[in-house]
Amino acid sequence: MTLQPHPPHPSSGGSGRLGLAATAILAGVYLTFTALGAFAPQLLAAPIQPGGIFTWAFALGLGVIGLGFVLTVIYAVIANRRESVALAARALVPAEGGAR
């Protein structure tokens, strides 16, 4: 199955591909974390520093939460910038309404 986005809406700043890529990264990291817990629990139970209390489970789990937020910010910044560029281009060339 090929995922082919519809022609972008005139004011669509975030292209479908950007959103799909961000989804793939977050899903990949989160499902890897889950799979580690399911198939290699001893890795997640190991402390980060020998004798320390923080396990890799905490580091990676908080990492997933942080990654979700960071990717959201990156996505919004890129999409907003593209939208501004597209709107500016449209204002310059009134005949062409393409976003990209």
Partner 1 sequence: MNMIAISCFLAIVALSLAITWWAARNTKGTNDFYAAGGNVTSLQNGLALAGDALSAGAFLGLTGLIFANGFDGYIFAIGYSTGMPIVVFLLAERLRQMGKFTFSDVVSVHLDETPMRIFGAAASLVVIAFYLVAQIVGAGALIELLFGIDFKVAVALVGGLMICYVMFGGMMATTWVQIVKACLMLAGGALIAVLVLQRFGFDLAALLYGAASVRPNGADLLAPQAAARSPFSALSLALALMFGTAGLPHILMRFFTVPDARAARNSVVWGTAFISTFYAATAIFGFGAIVILSGDATAVGAGGKVIGGINMVAIHLARVLGGDIMLGLVSAVAFATILAVVAGLTLAGASAVSHDLYARVVLKGHVDEARELKISRMATVALGMLAIALGIAFQGQNVAYMISLAFAIACSSTFPVLVLSIYWRGLTTRGAIAGGSIGLLAALGLTVLGPSMWVKVFGFAAPVVSLDPPTLISMPLAFLTCWLVSMTQRRGAQMLPGVA
Residues that bind partner 1 (CB under 8 A): 1-6, 9, 11-14, 16, 18-20, 22-23, 26-27, 30-31, 33-35, 37-39, 41, 44-45, 52-58, 61-62, 64-66, 68-69, 71-73, 75-76, 79-80, 83
CB of 5 to partner 1, least distance (A): 6
Identify which of residues 28 and 95 has a Cβ nearer to partner 1 in the complex: 28
Backbone angles phi, psi at 47, to 5 degrees: -70, 150
CB of 72 to partner 1, least distance (A): 5
CA dist 90 → 2, 33, 85, 95 (Å): 30, 44, 9, 8
CA dihedral 40, 45, 46, 50 (to 10 degrees): -170
Identify which of residues 14 and 90 has a Cβ nearer to partner 1 in the complex: 14
Identify which of residues 69 and 92 has a Cβ nearer to partner 1 in the complex: 69
Residues with Cβ < 8 Å from 97, sequence gap 6 or more? 10, 90
Q: Are 48 and 55 in contact (CB under 8 A)?
A: yes
CB of 45 to partner 1, least distance (A): 4
